[in-house]
Amino acid sequence: MGQKRWREKLLKFMDFCAGIGGGRFGLESIGLECVAYSEIDEAASETYRLFFGDREKNYGDLMSIDPEDLPYFDLMIAGFPCQSFSIVGKRKGLHDPRGSIIYGLIDILKAKSVKYFIFENVKGLVNHDGGRTLAMILGDLNEAGYEVEWRVVNSLDYGVPQMRERIYFVGVRNDLIPVKGKFIWPSRVPAPGLEEYLSSENSRELDYRNDPTFNRYLSNKYNIGKWDINELIDEDYLIIDTRQSDLRLYRGQVPTLRAGRHGILYVKSGKLKRLSGYEALLLQGFPKDAARKIRNNVSETRLLSQAGNAMTVHVVSRIGTQLLEYLQNHMHTVA
């Protein structure tokens, strides 16, 4: 049997901690079918339905789900909450109720005898509590019956010009692959130029000469005398990050999009543009037609936040493709 057969065999997945569906877009792009999703945030669920339709079944808070109520699915994908492990959060880890969601996912894995999973979280999980949190999670996933591989990957290496490091876990139920084989992570691919993402569609111009907030920023104690705005606006697709007190410049790539990060600017034709929610979706790999469909139906502030919380579509699709190839290479051992 070839990879096409495997796509049929791995037809169904369920989208947990779904956000606005970045993981779903990634898996659907390689031929898999989503049977339902679970998302506790109502605003994110509204955007998800704008993308995928009003008939989508949302099972809500996964910690309250009775696994017996769930439909059949082969694969679980989940971008479980990262605030507990992020370097910008309080880093409570597994002592935070949000951190314990990983165990809600494990309970569903066991109850439904799920064959495969793909999980995503922030890079900060790697060294949280000196690495003990990661070791505990891996140990519990192994105890639940899964062979697990993990790696920190950068979206910049997977086809989008965004510097976004995230940890991904790929798990396969042990009894399906009794002869262990090494999962091979996707090879790197170059990111296209920024001009494919910063389209100026729906973008908002910043009147930098008369904007008091921006001018106070340029003249604060960290930035005063360092930058000539006239030189900055002479370079198309120069990225200007105003998140920190010190101004940061990027070329050919944008810094990590985050839920509360709305200070990314870029230069286009001598004008200073604010990164739009539509452009943020493109930088997360969302298809242009889908991004256009919702850009006028969700506020800019909300869409920027939701895009910042999403999984990068291209990363998920490439990891999913590698999982299919991995299974194909071990098909003779699969029950």
pLDDT at 177: 78
Q: Note if 17 is an active site residue.
A: no
- Residue 210 and residue 180 in contact, taking contact as beta carbons nearer than 8 Å: no
Catalytic annotation, pick one of 44, 82, 240, 264: 82
Tens of pLDDT along the chain (335 residues)? 455 555 556 689 999 999 999 999 999 999 999 999 999 999 999 999 999 999 889 999 999 999 999 999 999 999 987 555 444 445 454 455 444 789 899 999 999 999 999 999 999 899 888 888 899 899 999 999 999 999 999 999 999 999 999 999 999 999 887 666 678 999 999 888 999 899 766 678 999 889 888 888 888 888 888 888 899 999 999 999 987 777 889 999 999 998 766 679 999 999 999 999 999 999 999 999 999 999 889 999 999 999 999 999 999 999 999 999 888 877 544 44
3-state secondary structure 149-180: EEEEEEHHHECCCECCEEEEEEEEEHHHCCCC
Residue 100: enclosing H or E segment and its boundaries?
A: none
pTM of the model: 0.90
Distance in angstroms (rounded) separating the CA atoms of residues 280 and 332: 43
End-to-end CA distance of the chain: 14
| The pLDDT of residue 245 | 78
Distance, CA of 158 to CA of 98 (rounded, Å): 28
Note the pLDDT of residue 238: 96
64 burial (CB, 10 Å; 0-12 / 13-18 / 19+) is exposed
Tokens of 174: 């042990």
